[in-house]
Amino acid sequence: SAPGPALPDLSGKTILITAGPTQEALDPVRYLSNHSSGKMGYALAQVAAQANAKVILVSGPTNLGVAPGITKIPVTSAAQMLSEVMQQVQQCDIFIATAAVADYRPATVADNKIKKKDDELTLTFVKNPDILKQVANLPTPPFTVGFAAESQNVEHYARSKLNLKKLDMIAANNIATAGLGFNSDHNALHVIWRDGEHHLPPQPKVQLAAELLSLVATQFNKKTS
């Protein structure tokens, strides 16, 4: 394959990554979800494995496969994603949350298919747990990296997520930028940490993942040295 950016050496390190959308069931045949393709998380898993890290990928439903050597744990809902992440996180050095976790789930899951009735249907939703925030606020958290998909005030919202969730780093992208993000093979990121920031220009997601991983490795080494 074409020579990419130099990868950091992550041998001996374990990286836990969440990826893809979650699906929140409404009844046996319906769910609430989003358009996340999972591409960014899978690209990060791939380059982390190439950098010799042990990689655990907790993924919502996607059409993507993983290279041999990457441990993939498939999940459906946010609750399942949280439970699998919490079972793995204690043995991890770095946690990267790329998943587009549904912020809310239906308050109740009907046992049977909901039948068509009135002209209007009102559903009640309850907030899902914030997986990234729970990991970052553990007594001994791993180096924790979040993503922020924003359509406006990108830097402002990203910085408030970095601070409110107590993250080590956040990678923000403007989903309003034509042709970038979600289902695209390309993306651009504004990466922010406590005492620095870096703009990664629009590029293929695998290349972008390698550049982001280099920033992660540098700040991780600083924090743990």
Residue 170: closest CA among 145, 139, 144, 195:
145
From the list 30-38, 48-56, 93-101, 175-183, the region that binds ligand CTP by CB under 6 A is 93-101
Identify what 212 binds: ligand CTP, Ca ion, none; CB under 5 to 8 Å per kind.
none
DSSP string, 132-198: HHHHHTSSS--EEEEEEEESSSHHHHHHHHHHHTT-SEEEEEETTSTT-STT-SEEEEEEEETTEEE
Active-site pick, 34, 52, 63, 137: 34
Min separation Cβ 80 and ligand CTP, Å: 12
Residue 57: closest CA among 77, 35, 31, 38:
38
Q: Say whether residue 174 binds ligand CTP (CB under 6 A).
A: no
In the complex with Ca ion, which residue's Cβ is closer, 103 or 185? 103
Residue type at position 148? A
Q: Which residues bind ligand CTP (CB under 6 A)?
A: 18, 78, 97, 99, 101, 103, 128-132, 146-149, 161
Report the binding-site residues for CTP: 103, 113, 129-132, 147, 161, 165
Active site residues: 34
